Amino acid sequence: MSDGPTTRGLYGQRPSKSADAVRRREFERLAAMSPRERVLLALSLKERRRLMGVVPERPQAGDVKRK
C-alpha cells in the first residue's frame, strides 16, 4: 500500500498538490474567522444562492417560513 491519501477526487484520480494546498488555506481561513464572521459568510452565501435562483430541496435548520 502507498502512503498517499486514501480519498480520491473526481473519477478516482489522486487530488493534486495545488488542490490540497488551496483546500488547506481555505480551511485555515475559515478556522481563523470569528463566529460572527462565519454567520455573515453563511448569510451572504445563502443570499447569493437565492439571487442565482437556486432553490433548496428542503428547508435548512434555522430557515424561517414567511407568509
pTM tops 0.85, yes or no:
no
The cell numbers describing 5, all together, are 491519501
Mean pLDDT of the chain: 77
Q: Is 62 left (phi over 0), alpha (psi -120 to 50) or beta?
A: left
CB 19 within 8 A of CB 9: yes
Q: Which residue has the higher pLDDT, 3 or 54?
A: 54
The cell numbers describing 41, all together, are 459568510
User: Residue 65 has what pLDDT?
Assistant: 64
User: Residue 1 has what pLDDT?
Assistant: 47
The cell numbers describing 37, all together, are 464572521
Report long-range pairs for 53-61 (Cβ below 8 Å, ≥24 apart). Answer: none
19-41 tens-digit pLDDT: 888 889 999 999 999 999 999 99
